[in-house]
Amino acid sequence: MERFTGNFTQQEPIPDAGIEAALAVLRHGRLHRYNTAAGEVAETALLEEEFAAFLGARYCLAVASGGYAMATALRAMQVGQGDKVLTNAFTLAPVPGAIASVGAQPVFIETTEDLTIDVAHLEEMALQTGAKVLMLSHMRGHLADMPALVALCDRLGLRIIEDCAHTMGAAWDGVPSGRFGAIACFSNQTYKHMNAGEGGFLTTDDPDLAARSVLLSGSYMLYARHRAAPPPEVFERIRLDIPNISGRMDNLRAAILRPQIALLPDRRQRWNALYQTMEAGLAHTPGLRLIPRPAQETYVASSFQFSLPGWGADRVRAFVARAAGRGVELKWFGAPDPVAFTSRYEHWHYAAPRPLPQTDRVLAGLIDMRLPLTFGLEDVAQIARIIRSEVISVGQADDLRVEAVPLAD
């Protein structure tokens, strides 16, 4: 019985240019973004300028994490105590966490089978709550029909903050993800599309939101050192009214990230080759549903999802255990307890979530795995063979007690 021996959490090394640039920052010692020599432009300011150009946004602010970018976006929009913020029920913990961090209340929206936000439920909840903001999480890189969603939000008076943690480099009909909302937030945490360990970006075209965000992030009165930011007069109007809630990025992380921007198209192509190999390997597996990808969507498949519709919890648990025994590390969004990076909306008790039967049904059979770029096409083909054989055998088994899988050595 074949067994996979690769590591699902091993990312690629930082490119040599990033290592060299990081060493240069360490050698000169000016790690703080506002600590510059005469005539020097900080790595952080250059990174912001380059990422804004890559995305086609007017303004970009580099910060400490994706979650910090989202909280800053909410504060910049003056969302505060007791306000309701609509967001996807299928998302990662930092998203409701960012909403709670400003004293606001997350209101979770149902998930479709294709893992995007349910627009009918969104409309219902917008009308019911009077919410003014949608924190739209493109969870696991699945994009909703963006022009239709933007039109609906305009009609409902909802401003959109896009959570692009899984869609850096993705697009809908050629328009980059992050160009649809008033603000977009990105993460540079290790498992995202550019790796600095931790970090994030906030992008916008709105000068007032950009200036507020820069001031919020802790710019002291050095905002004029930002290059992807509005001119000083925009800051002068508000600079004494905005609290400093420090969450800046430093020059070391910026140095590591700058050379990775140009690598994004190549990474997208390699991730998608892994994804398509997995998709082909799992196609027509009885009991397994692949998630369809719309033709308008340009995705960046750093992870892979499939579902086992209608399977009971015991059967899914047996399948995940059997796959693990053969070296295939899968995550299950139906697990009753939060495990590592996998959690469900009802685990976020502080948000007092209401039951969402459609999302429960979708998550009950939803399986997820990382596709690190250290995998080759052969690795992914082998993983697909293992999953396929276990879905077929566990799917047909009468006895769900998990037998030990003999290890290779």
Give min distance, CB of 104 to ligand PLP, in A: 16
Smaller CB separation from ligand PLP, 140 or 322: 140
Give min distance, CB of 133 to ligand PLP, in A: 16
Residue facing ligand PLP at closest CB distance: 66
Give min distance, CB of 183 to ligand PLP, in A: 14
Contacts with ligand PLP, 298-337, as mask; x by CB under 6 A = ----------------------------------------
Work out whether strand 133-137 and strand 84-88 pair parallel, antiparallel, or are unpaired.
parallel
Smaller CB separation from ligand PLP, 33 or 192: 192
Continuous H helices in 349-376: 357-364
**Residue 349 neighbours by CB distance under 10 Å:** 7
Give min distance, CB of 67 to ligand PLP, in A: 3
Give min distance, CB of 94 to ligand PLP, in A: 4
For 26, 167, 264, 269, 278, the CA distances from 300, given in Å and listed in that order, are: 32, 6, 9, 8, 14
Q: Exposed, middle or buried by CB within 10 Å (0-12, 13-18, 19+), for 233?
A: exposed
Give min distance, CB of 264 to ligand PLP, in A: 17
Give min distance, CB of 334 to ligand PLP, in A: 18
Smaller CB separation from ligand PLP, 201 or 223: 201
The separation between the first and the last C-alpha atoms of the chain, rounded to the nearest angstrom, is 12
Give min distance, CB of 115 to ligand PLP, in A: 12
Smaller CB separation from ligand PLP, 35 or 190: 190
Give min distance, CB of 166 to ligand PLP, in A: 6
CA distance 70 to 161: 8
Spell out a b/e string for 86-104, using b for 16 or more CB atoms within 10 Å of the CB, else e: bbbbbbbbbbbbbbbbbeb
CA distance 111 to 122: 10
- Residue 337's identity, in one-letter code, is D
Continuous H helices in 56-93: 66-76
CA distance 14 to 288: 36
Q: Are 236 and 212 in contact (CB under 8 A)?
A: no
Give min distance, CB of 101 to ligand PLP, in A: 11
CA distance 104 to 219: 25
Give the pair of three-digit tokens for residue 313.
């919890």
CA distance 186 to 198: 11
Q: Are 79 and 135 in contact (CB under 8 A)?
A: no
Smaller CB separation from ligand PLP, 200 or 230: 200
Give min distance, CB of 356 to ligand PLP, in A: 17
For 19, 137, 162, 293, the CA distances from 264, given in Å and listed in that order, are: 17, 20, 19, 20
Smaller CB separation from ligand PLP, 194 or 255: 194
Q: Exposed, middle or buried by CB within 10 Å (0-12, 13-18, 19+), for 401?
A: exposed
The reply on whether position 18 binds ligand PLP by CB under 6 A is no
The residue length of the chain stands at 409
Kindly identify the residues of this chain, within the stretch 104-163, that bind ligand PLP according to CB under 6 A.
137, 139, 163
Smaller CB separation from ligand PLP, 44 or 285: 44
Stretch that binds ligand PLP, among 153-161, 184-192, 329-337, 396-404 (CB under 6 A): 184-192
Kindly identify the residues of this chain, within the stretch 243-262, that bind ligand PLP according to CB under 6 A.
none
How many of the chain's residues bind ligand PLP (CB under 6 A)? 16
Q: Tell me which of 72, 116, 187, 302 binds ligand PLP, using CB under 6 A.
A: 187
Kindly identify the residues of this chain, within the stretch 60-99, that bind ligand PLP according to CB under 6 A.
65-67, 91-92, 94-95
Stretch that binds ligand PLP, among 59-67, 100-108, 256-264, 349-357 (CB under 6 A): 59-67
Smaller CB separation from ligand PLP, 22 or 95: 95
CA distance 162 to 136: 5
Q: Tell me which of 176, 178, 200, 372 binds ligand PLP, using CB under 6 A.
A: 200
Smaller CB separation from ligand PLP, 92 or 115: 92
Q: Give contact residues for ligand PLP (rule: CB under 6 A).
A: 65-67, 91-92, 94-95, 137, 139, 163, 165-166, 187, 189, 192, 200
